[in-house]
């Protein structure tokens, strides 16, 4: 059994991500009303899809409203006592505990950011899916929001979670400034939606299309589309401070979480080595500016990122060796204050 992204490959050898299945919204009059201390946001700090939701939670000042459970970055066998069940996935590990990767190689200590469990005594993210009767073909992904009252997953689609956090918990924001943060402003929604579409297809998901391709033709097509889209970003960022204009939006959050992993992981691991992000004049500076924003910096953990990718997929890196570098200086001046266009 392999319910992981590595297995989502079409007959042509191209990576084809499966859709999320839990798509419920928060509704004051529905099954999942916005409340404090009822919901748990389950994330991996390594996962770009989960990190975007964690960044939104922090930008909106909701850290004391929703609990956050953080998985260990390295996948493990989710049914270690069943020789017929080879699934490896996200697990909860007590800080200080040393674990190996799915291949039995490596030694990775759970740091202080890891959670010993999420809720319901779950040892694995898989446990939460099975508690609420997920379909047998379900992939056990993060992020997800868990309802501790109804004991079920509310939503596991990162793009929807991001927007739910942006608008549905306004009464619980920690400050007026946090309440005023709007990652999806009405006047920019058509532009944000248009950018999100091609950024998702060719960059967010595009790096996985490169890394998980199992044919040369699928890889060649994916890497061509990836760098064409990155060039498009570079052109946009020469004309405006943020990807959708002069306002920081969810489109920036979504793009950033891929770009911040690019030089550290994807260039080597997913064979996207045509060019580093820090070599782009405008995009490199843009990444530095966004990394220096507290909500984004606190949702970024390079140790978790590198350990996950390099130790979780034995088919790609059987010895679970985590490379050093390139250690880009993300605290250097970004110079993105203006004027625009440049």
d(CA 60, CA 62): 6
Query: Does the annotation count 208 as an active-site position?
Result: yes
Q: Of the listed 39, 47, 53, 129, which one is catalytic?
A: 47
Inter-axis angle of helices 48-59 and 250-261, to 10 degrees? 140
Q: In terms of DSSP bridges, do strands 76-77 and 88-89 run parallel, antiparallel, or are they unpaired?
A: antiparallel
Provide the token pair at 160.
Answer: 């929807």
Residue 245 C-alpha from the chain's centroid: 23
Residues contacting residue 252 through CB under 8 Å, at least 6 positions apart: 242, 243, 244, 290
For residue 171, the tally of other CB atoms under 10 A from its CB is 11
**Cβ-based burial of 78 (10 A; exposed 0-12, middle 13-18, buried ≥19):** buried
Q: Of the listed 208, 242, 269, 309, which one is catalytic?
A: 208
Distances from the Cα of 195 to the Cα of 58, 159, 229, 233, 254, angstroms = 23, 13, 10, 10, 10
Query: Does the annotation count 47 as an active-site position?
Result: yes
Strand partners, 70: 43
Catalytic center residues: 47, 208
């Amino acid at each position: 059994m392999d319910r992981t992204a590595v297995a989502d490959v079409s007959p042509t050898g191209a990576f084809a991500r499966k859709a999320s299945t839990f798509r419920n919204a928060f509704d004051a009059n529905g099954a999942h009303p916005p409340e404090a201390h009822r919901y748990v946001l389950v994330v991996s700090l390594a996962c770009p899809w989960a990190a975007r939701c964690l960044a939104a939670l922090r930008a909106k000042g909701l850290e004391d409203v929703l609990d956050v459970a953080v998985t260990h970055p390295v996948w493990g066998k989710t049914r270690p006592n069943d020789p017929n069940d080879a699934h490896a996935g996200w697990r909860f590990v007590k800080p200080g505990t040393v674990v190996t990767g799915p291949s039995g190689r490596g030694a990775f200590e759970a740091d202080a950011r890891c959670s010993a469990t999420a809720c319901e005594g779950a040892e694995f993210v898989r446990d939460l899916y099975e508690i609420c009767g997920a379909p047998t073909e379900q992939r056990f992904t993060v992020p997800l929001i868990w309802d501790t009252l109804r004991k079920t997953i509310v939503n596991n689609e990162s793009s929807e979670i991001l927007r739910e956090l942006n608008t549905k918990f306004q009464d619980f924001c920690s400050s007026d400034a946090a309440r005023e943060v709007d990652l999806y402003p009405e006047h920019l929604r058509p532009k944000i939606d248009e950018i999100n579409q091609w950024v998702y297809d060719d960059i967010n998901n595009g790096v996985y299309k490169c890394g998980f391709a199992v044919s040369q033709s699928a890889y060649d097509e994916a890497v061509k589309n990836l760098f064409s889209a990155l060039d498009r970003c570079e052109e946009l960022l020469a004309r405006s401070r943020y990807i959708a204009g002069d306002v920081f939006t969810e489109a920036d959050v979504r793009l950033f979480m891929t770009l911040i992993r690019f030089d550290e992981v994807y260039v080597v691991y997913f064979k996207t080595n045509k060019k580093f992000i820090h070599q782009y004049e405008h995009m490199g500076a843009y990444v530095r500016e966004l990394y220096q924003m507290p909500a984004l910096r606190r949702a970024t953990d390079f140790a978790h990122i590198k350990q996950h990718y390099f130790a979780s997929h034995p088919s790609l890196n059987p010895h679970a060796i985590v490379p050093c570098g390139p250690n880009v200086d993300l605290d250097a001046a970004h110079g993105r204050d203006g004027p625009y266009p440049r």
